[in-house]
């Protein structure tokens, strides 16, 4: 029986967590059913010194509260008036950093994902942060939760060797000054389930 990752996993450096989340399984429990996928793409957001990060400069508002929880909590935010993005909070409450989950390879209850997405194409179900949130029915209800609880959590699955991890600049943050070029986007080389090529 797989177990969800220990709290200690999330309290490591944000870059390390972002890389090591690749190959692990994101599990959402919906009405008693498991909806899951293998994490194929992530992005690290490095807190107060990272202009692309919501908590840049130490900003602290109602929306950002989950980022100031200890590592191992969820941070779900709403964007573009229609999508949710799912993040894993890292390190400790003194460091408002997180990892955005950008893409999954569908695994369990794929039919349920198709119905939530309103699409049949496997490649269109979870290849993007907004898409995967929709496929797993992730909404604001799941914001600020401990990943040790049983609504949404992450299980160990397969180890991705460093040679299979591609590093690139992050998506959609052109406004972020020098941080826009930092190679904080990670994905599994040759995976068919990536948000952009």
Partner DNA sequence: TGACCGATGAAT
Partner DNA sequence: TTCATCGGTCAT
Residues that bind DNA (CB under 7 A): 43, 45, 52-54, 59, 61-64, 75, 77-83, 85, 87, 98, 100, 117, 119, 124, 128-132, 140, 170-173, 175, 195
At closest approach, how far in Å is the CB of 184 from DNA? 10
Nearer to DNA, 62 or 178 (CB): 62
Three-class SS state of 8: helix
At closest approach, how far in Å is the CB of 105 from DNA? 15
Nearer to DNA, 70 or 130 (CB): 130
The 8-class DSSP code of residue 65 comes to G
State how far the Cα of 50 lies from the Cα of 43, in Å rounded to an integer: 12
At closest approach, how far in Å is the CB of 43 from DNA? 6
At closest approach, how far in Å is the CB of 78 from DNA? 4
Distances from the Cα of 38 to the Cα of 18, 51, 126, 156, angstroms: 14, 29, 10, 10
At closest approach, how far in Å is the CB of 6 from DNA? 23
Nearer to DNA, 115 or 150 (CB): 115
Q: Characterize 155-173 residue by residue with b for buried, 16 or more Cβ atoms within 10 angstroms of its Cβ, and e for exposed.
A: eebeebeeeebeeebbeeb
Nearer to DNA, 5 or 89 (CB): 89
Nearer to DNA, 118 or 162 (CB): 118
CA angle in degrees (0–180, nearest 5) for 37-43-49: 150
Question: Comparing C-alpha atoms, which of 14, 67, 19, 73 is closest to residue 41?
Answer: 19
State how far the Cα of 38 lies from the Cα of 21, in Å rounded to an integer: 9
CA atoms within a 13 Å half-sphere pointing along the CA-CB vector of 122? 9
């Amino acid at each position: 029986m797989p177990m969800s990752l220990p709290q200690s996993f999330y309290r490591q450096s944000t870059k390390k967590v972002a890389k090591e989340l690749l190959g692990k399984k994101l599990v959402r429990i919906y009405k008693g059913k498991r909806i899951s996928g293998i994490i194929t793409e992530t992005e690290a957001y490095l807190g107060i010194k990272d202009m692309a990060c919501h908590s840049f400069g130490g900003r602290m508002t109602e929306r950002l509260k989950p980022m100031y929880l200890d590592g191992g909590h969820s941070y779900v935010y709403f964007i573009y008036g229609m999508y949710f993005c799912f993040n894993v909070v890292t390190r400790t409450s003194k460091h408002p950093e997180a990892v955005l989950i950008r893409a999954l390879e569908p695994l369990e209850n794929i039919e349920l994902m198709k119905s939530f997405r309103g699409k049949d194409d496997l490649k269109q179900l979870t290849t993007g942060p907004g898409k995967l949130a929709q496929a797993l029915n992730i909404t604001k209800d799941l914001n600020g939760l401990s990943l040790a609880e049983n609504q949404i959590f992450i299980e160990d699955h397969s180890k991705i060797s460093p040679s299979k991890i591609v590093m690139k600049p992050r998506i959609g943050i052109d406004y972020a000054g020098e941080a826009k070029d930092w190679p904080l986007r990670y994905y599994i080389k040759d995976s068919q389930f990536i948000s952009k090529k």
